[in-house]
Amino acid sequence: MEFDESVIVKRIDNLKLITAAEPEHFMTLHCLQCNTVLADSLGVCGELKCIDSIMCIRVTNDVVVSDAIESVHKGEMANCICSHLKCRLCNCVMGKVIHAAPSHLAAIRSIFLLNKARMSCYILDSISMVKASSLSFDMKPLQETVHEARQELEEHLDLMALTCSRLADMSLSSQSST
């Protein structure tokens, strides 16, 4: 990645090492047209593959919700009432926000749906810009995440118990030698 007075002049279109947007890969989401920052990975809550969109619970002030309300009659979003999301700088349509939806889409009401094809991602730890369409934003099920955290905590607890045991043994041996 090369910069010229804070403007990106070269970018990587495909990153081989990272194919999934994981919590440890902090990133910013940018308009593909003008590189304006629209969101970050901390606001991402998943991916809606049927409409090729990243689901975000929050976006930057550079994402404008259109005043016009649209009623969708066909496709995956049939019977939804939504507004377009636009980039404040270049006025490109970046996605949608659903105001009303049938019960099968109830979980994504009021969630910002950013179109992956119109976005790029700057991955902080690898210092690279990639197309959002090359990444997966699937989130692990909560139960799996909790299970992993529990395993990690149990490992730390075992290590702490071992350390306490060794300290107690050292304390006893030093007391008996004095």
pLDDT score of 7: 42
pLDDT score of 142: 57
pTM of the model: 0.66
In sequence order, what are the residues at sequence separation of 6 or more whose Cβ sits closer than 8 angstroms to the Cβ of residue 100?
80, 81, 109
pLDDT score of 13: 43
**Six token digits for residue 82:** 């939504």
pLDDT score of 178: 62
Backbone angles phi, psi at 134, to 5 degrees: -85, -5
pLDDT score of 173: 79
Dihedral angle of Cα 71, 75, 77, 78, to the nearest 10 degrees: 50
Number of residues in the chain = 178
pLDDT score of 143: 66
pLDDT score of 64: 94
Residues of the chain with pLDDT under 50: 1-21, 23
**Six token digits for residue 138:** 């699937």
